[in-house]
Amino acid sequence: MSVSKSTIQLSDRVQRVAMSPNAAAKQLTNSLKEAGVDIVDLTTGEPDFDTPEHIKQAAYAAIERGETKYTPTPGIKPLRQAVQRKLQRENGLAFDAENIVIANGAKQIIFNAFAATLNDGDEVLVPVPYWPTFPDSVRFNGGTPIFLNCTLDQQYKLTPSQLEQAITAKTRWLILNNPGNPSGAVYNASELAALAEVLRRHPQVLILLDELYEHVLFDGREHLSLLNIADDLRERTLLVGGVSKTYAMTGWRIGYGAGPKVLTQAMAVVQSQNSSGASSVSQAAAVAAFDGGLEFIKPQVAAYQARRDVLVDRLQQVEGLRLLRPEGAFFVFINCEGLIGRQRADGKLITSEQDVVDFMLESGVSGVAGSAFGLSPYFRLSIATDLATVDEAGKRIAAACHSLN
C-alpha cells in the first residue's frame, strides 16, 4: 500500500517561528521521568503554590450564579474595573477602564498588540536575554526583532547608549521586561529615567512593559514601572500584567493590557477574530484576585528568596560558572563559558552550551539552554519548586562540575 505525500502547504508565517524551547525542555524531562530516570526538574517558571482559596471560591460562586456564557471580547466590566483599581492602588497609575483589555493570558495580550500595530519589516527592539515569546510573536506578525545583547557584565540590563544606537526609522516597539525572565534583573529609578530620556527623543517608538513578575521581588525591593518615572510616555506605552505569577493562576489564563484606547480597541478587534472573550469563570476569579489583597504573597516571596539564596550560594562556589544573585522573578541564569573545553569522566569533551545542558541532564538536573533566551553560553534554572528540590539540584550540579577535568 503506497502512502501519499501531504499536499498541505504551510504558510511562511508559521515557518518563521518554533515551538517554545521551554516547553520542549519540560516535555523531555517528563519523558525521562516516566521512563524511571531520577531527574530534578528546574525547567518551568510556574509557581508551586496553589491558587489562594478565596479566588477558587469566587470561581465556584460564579458557576453557581450561572456565569458560564460568552463574555465581551475586551473583558467583563467588573474585571476591567478591578484591574483599574489594582493599578491605582498597587502601582500608583490611573487608567480608565476603557483603556484596559483582558485576554487569555499575557501572552495573548502581547501577540494582539503586535498583530494590531506591526507591518512587514517593522522593527521591534528586544533586549537579550529575552522571553522566547517576544521575538516569535514579532516574527509571526511580520515584524523583525532587533536583538540588543545585555550580558552578565552589564547585569542583563539595557543601557541608554544601546537603545539610542539601535533606534532607526523602522523601529516600532521597545520591549522592556521588568523584572526579567530569565535574568531576574530589576531596573531601578535612575536606570528607567535614563531609558525614558532616550525614548523622548524618538516619539515613533511604542513601549511594551511586561511586568508579570512585579510582586516577586527580593531583598526588600519595591516595584517601579517606567510609567512611574515617565508618565509623559503613557500615550505610547502598553503595560502588560496578569494573574499567573502573583496569584499562582497559570492555568486560569487571564492577562491584561493597559494603554492608549486606540491601541487596546484594536487589540480587541484582533482578539474578536481569534478567540473572543476570555473564560467567564476565570474572569470572575481574577476579580477576586485583584481585589483580595496581597498578604498571601509575602511568605511565598520569602520562600522564593530562600531558594534563590541556597542555589546561588552553592553555584557561585563552582569553578567554571558565573552568575548574579537575581533581584526578582523565579530564575537563576548562569554563564557556563568556563566549562567549555573541559573533559568529562567518560572522556567526552564539552564543546558547547548544549553539551553543558546535556551533561547536567545526565547528572540528574534539567534546565533550559541559554540559546532559548538568545544568549549563549548560559543556562536557566527555575526556583519555582520546593527548597529541598532546589538544594538537591545545586548539589548535583556542583558535583558534576567538580568531576570535570
DSSP characters over 47-112: -SSPPPHHHHHHHHHHHHTT--S---TT--HHHHHHHHHHHHHHH-----GGGEEEESSHHHHHHH
pLDDT 10s digits, 346-380? 999 999 999 999 999 999 999 999 999 999 999 99
Give the separation between CA 134 and CA 145, rounded to whole angstroms.
8
Radius of gyration (Cα) for the chain, nearest Å? 22
pLDDT 10s digits, 153-204? 999 999 999 999 999 999 999 999 999 999 999 999 999 999 999 999 999 9
Residue 388 near residue 142 (C-beta atoms within 8 A): no
Give the separation between CA 252 and CA 127, rounded to whole angstroms.
29
Q: What percent of the chain has pLDDT over 70?
A: 99
pLDDT 10s digits, 64-89? 999 999 999 999 999 999 999 999 99
Give the separation between CA 95 and CA 84, rounded to whole angstroms.
6
Name the grid cell of 3. Answer: 502512502
Residue 169 near residue 118 (C-beta atoms within 8 A): no
On the question of pLDDT at 1 being above 80, the answer is no
pLDDT for 167: 98
Exposure of 28 in the CB half-sphere (CA atoms within 13 A): 17
78 preceded by cis ω (within 30°)? no
Give the separation between CA 399 and CA 402, rounded to whole angstroms.
5
Instruction: Mention every residue, 6+ apart, whose C-beta is less than 8 A from residue 366.
Output: 25, 28, 29, 32, 39, 40, 41, 42, 43, 360
Name the grid cell of 233. Answer: 510616555
Q: What is the 3 state secondary structure string of 137-151?
A: HHHHCCCEEEEEECC
Choose among 245, 368, 395, 213: nearest CA to 311: 395
pLDDT 10s digits, 100-140? 999 999 999 999 999 999 999 999 999 999 999 999 999 99
Residue linked to cell 577535568: 405
On the question of pLDDT at 2 being above 60, the answer is no
Give the separation between CA 173 and CA 163, rounded to whole angstroms.
11
Q: Buried b / exposed e across 139-163, counting CB within 10 Å, b at 16+?
A: bbbbbbbbbbebebeebbbbbeebb
Distance between the two ends of the chain, CA-based, in angstroms?
55
What structural domains and CATH numbers belong to the chain?
12-50+297-402 (3.90.1150.10), 53-291 (3.40.640.10)
Per-residue DSSP letters for 359-404? HHHHTTEE-EEGGGGT-SSEEEEE--S-HHHHHHHHHHHHHHHHT-
Q: Please, which residues bridge with residue 334 across strands?
A: 323, 379
Q: What are the φ/ψ torsions at residue 52 (nearest 5 degrees)?
A: -55, 145
How many helices (H) and strands (E) in the chain? 14, 13
Out of 9-13, 215-219, 281-285, pick the least confident. 9-13
3-state SS assignment for residue 128: strand
